[in-house]
Structure 1
Amino acid sequence: MSMSDEELPQTGMDMDGMDGMSDDDMGDMPTELPEGVQKEVLTPAPDGSWKMPQRGDEVIVHYVGTLQSDGSEFDSSRTRGTPFVFTLGKGEVIKGWDLGVATMKKGEVSKFTLAPEFAYGENGSPPKIPENATLVFEVELISWMSKSDLFGDEGVILTRITEGSGWRTPKIGSEVLTSVKAEAGEGTLEEHADLEYVLGSEGSALGPIAKACDKALQSMKVGEEVQLKCSKDYAYGDRSPDGATVTIKLSQIYETKDVSFQSNSSVMKKQIVEGEGYEMPQDGAQVTLEVEAATDASGQSLSGFQAKTLEFTLGNGDVCDALECAVSSMKKGEKAIIISSSKAQAAEAQLGLSSLEADMPRFTVSLKDFAKSKEIWSMSEEEKLDFGAQRKEVGTSLFKSGRFTLALQRYKKVADLFNYVDNFKEENKAKAKELKKLCKLNQAACYLKLDDHFEAKGACDAVLKEDSQNVKAILRRAQAQFGMKNFLDCIQDCKRLVELDPQNRDCRSLLKRAHEGQKEEDQKSKKLFATMCKALGKGPIPAPEKAKPHEEDEDFDMQDTAKTEGETAEVQSAPQGGA
């Protein structure tokens, strides 16, 4: 709504330089008012209202203006019965208004007392406003339309039509579900309903309006709707010389993250619908999961698939690893697409998928419900010990069935449960430490099966720190050292173990293999050294005094190698330790 000549807050008149403020004068809207603008809140904004209009927003107000000198009314939108509309911070009104209204919240009524330099200055505005007049305005902020100059050149002006919810906003690379409509005059230039779109993607489906849409979407929340007024440079060029009006609605932000237990991107979860609250099912919780679809990478349904609602205990291995991974990171009501890079992890007999041929299988799932488990912090010492022992047995069962990744998670959680037991009763403290030790040993066994030798060594180190003569820990650490080709360390652990357990055939077998491995490494080093020496002979002749150290170094290496080659041990196959 435009302002009439009778509406005195406007500034399109000669007032000795008091023609309002330019964009540069305003900069960012100030958060504190200067001394010449005094504010008194008459009616606070409703509870929960905290947002204030920003520079460039189109604000709608009612006001009553009076002279401070005699209290006489000189103007009122209420008398006219029509709210007053202006663009905040653009110099369309007197300076005191631009500053004061920027501090208000929706529904607030405030009184502003404006010194002459923030109103109509030395000359006033005859006949109603005398010279050097101090003015009093009672202002009600009814509402505003948020507007933003997206690129700072007035090429794209954003107006917010509907507020969104939540706190998340997409960024470049995020995938969203959006609807976009571009219009010019009375015609539609382009329209996309329920478009799955990746911000910043090359060859964008949005073509010439992609830049403007990407910029707008980065400030939007789910459920938000905005309108963009685009110049031709941000729209369709000469095809639409007057530019275009683009309406965007953001329906969903797809959050894609790695939910695999090993953090290796083997199982990815693409969230379609956010869940409720913040709680997620805990290990051992009863869950209800609806599996709506199973497809390959092209979207074709997998042969044999049967949609089904699964009820199972989380962490027990009742369903395939891909679903186990995903559910542990979901909230009630959440809907997601689960993508597995491993066919074995996604094979699920209950869904008619005992075996899979398709690459990158994916499930569309919804977490309907889960039983809230008792929080660990609220358990007694005895309850923690019982819970830990039960989950350890679940891990052992999974290990025996070859589900090493899932077993590993059970052992990890139990070990973490007893990280701090100093305040336990002495009897319970001993039980907790023993349970933690067993789980650490079994973690090492799982890591060895998964060829993660570094983590296996770490688990063994943790046990040996408390129990330096633990035979299983020494053996499994030796196996891990062998896997990392740390043959000398492996030999050292094996020798130590032979002293503790002379009849340990696994250890003697591993010791022999470690000697053989070290011998191969020594031979490689010897050949490399010989090659280096030949290369040295082709270069400039060294000074006589520098020849001797090279010969001494070679003799030392040869002696050290001979010593290593002389060690022998009995040959046996070394099975990796079980749970």
Structure 2
Amino acid sequence: MLLAWTESTLHKFEDTWNEQKPVELVLGKEKKEMTGLAIGLSSMKSGERALLHVGWELGYGKEGSFSFPNVPPMADIIYEAELIGFDETKEGKARGDMTVEERIGAADRRKMDGNALFKEEKLEEAMQQYEMAIAYMGDDFMFQLFGKYRDMALAVKNPCHLNTAACMIKLKRYEEAIMQCNIVLAEEENNAKALFRRGKARAELGQTDAAREDYLKVRKFAPEDKAVARELRLLAEHDKALYQKQKEIYKGIFGPRPEPKPKRTNWLVLFWQWLLSLFYRLFKRERYKAD
């Protein structure tokens, strides 16, 4: 995985971490612009992460690049790189020289290695194997596939993304887990595992409405699934507890609602009203006599 920017202007021109797309680099056959990067990677160990400073002479040179990526002339480059692993010696040939079946087979072997590590709770190592499997099936490769070959590739690629999401949930890297699930859902919008794991990650982030939406979609395809029912019940309990907590908070702020006080009888007002009424009746009687 790679993040690259120019040292002087801090202009970022490549970010495969955000895209979740590992970069394949064949040492000794790399592009001229990646000579410095290849030298730095050759000294790293599998799983290591490092900052690599590359002078312009071993990068994009005196002219730079005005297409893609956009790199100014004579720009020194800083790479933040994570070496997922070396693959050449294990498979015996570069990926570019493999047939479609060989690439899918190599990816599947990496996936199986990752599954074994996952069972042993070696999550970081498992994710490295899944990432290397995914690297066999980059966008350029997938774009060329159709029919049964595309189905074969997705049958390996999508489980690698989903298993990576499972690892990330265990490691509490919930936003990254959601990204992995989204990649699968872009291919299969009704993939139950992707929806369930995305719902799990969203719930952990407190995105309860979005999580519930994912779980309800899963329940359409698996109405008897006990795991989905359990997660929906946990969300309901969470919402209830949150409501009670908010109720207590507001009660503490505003205090209990005061009881209406009984009106006190004002005897002075009553006496004054009675006196006026008496004078009025007397005046009326005297007037009647005069008439």
Please indicate the TM-score interval, normalised by the length of the shorter structure: 0.5 to 0.7
2:47 matched to which residue of 1? 325
1:398 matched to which residue of 2? 117
User: Which gives a bigger RCO, structure 1 or 2 (Cα 8 Å, sep 6+)?
Assistant: 2
Q: Percent sequence identity over matched residues? A: 25
Distance 1:458 1:277 in 2: 31
Distance 2:133 2:43 in 1: 16
Match of 1:416 among 132, 135, 144: 135
Distance 2:39 2:143 in 1: 34
1:456 matched to which residue of 2? 177
Superposition pairs of residues 115-130 of structure 1, within 5 angstroms: none
1:433 matched to which residue of 2? 154
Distance 2:168 2:41 in 1: 30
SS at match of 1:475: helix
User: Cα 1:374–1:495, aligned 2, differ >3 Å: closer, same or farther?
Assistant: same
Distance 1:511 1:406 in 2: 32
Is this contact kept in 2: 1:388–1:417, CA < 8 A?
Answer: yes
Superposition pairs of residues 351-500 of structure 1, within 5 angstroms: 371=89, 374-420=93-139, 421-424=142-145, 426-500=147-221
What is the Cα deviation at residue 443 of structure 1? 1.0
- AA in 2 matched with 1:407: A
Distance 2:183 2:41 in 1: 32
Deviations 1:356-391 (A, max 9, x none): xxxxxxxxxxxxxx9485332332222211110111
Distance 1:418 1:371 in 2: 19
Distance 1:457 1:418 in 2: 20
User: Cα 1:521–1:430, aligned 2, differ >3 Å: closer, same or farther?
Assistant: same
User: Cα 1:430–1:524, aligned 2, differ >3 Å: closer, same or farther?
Assistant: same
Structure (1/2) with the larger strand percentage: 1
Is this contact kept in 2: 1:487–1:515, CA < 8 A?
Answer: no
SS at match of 2:180: helix
The answer for unaligned runs of 5 or more in structure 2 is 1-37, 51-87, 256-291
Is this contact kept in 1: 2:47–2:128, CA < 8 A?
Answer: no
- AA in 2 matched with 1:450: L
Superposition pairs of residues 177-576 of structure 1, within 5 angstroms: 277=39, 280=42, 324-326=46-48, 371=89, 374-420=93-139, 421-424=142-145, 426-533=147-254
Is this contact kept in 2: 1:388–1:414, CA < 8 A?
Answer: yes
Deviations 1:428-456 (A, max 9, x none): 22211221111111111111121212211
User: Cα 1:524–1:428, aligned 2, differ >3 Å: closer, same or farther?
Assistant: same
Distance 1:424 1:469 in 2: 22
Distance 2:135 2:248 in 1: 48
User: Cα 1:281–1:395, aligned 2, differ >3 Å: closer, same or farther?
Assistant: farther
How high is the TM-score relative to the length of structure 1?
A: 0.29
1:21 matched to which residue of 2? none
- AA in 2 matched with 1:403: K
Distance 1:389 1:382 in 2: 10
RMSD over aligned CA atoms reads: 3.0
Structure (1/2) with the larger helix percentage: 2
- AA in 1 matched with 2:114: G
- AA in 1 matched with 2:192: V
- AA in 1 matched with 2:42: M
Distance 2:167 2:225 in 1: 21
How high is the TM-score relative to the length of structure 2?
A: 0.54
2:63 matched to which residue of 1? none
- Higher-Rg structure is 1
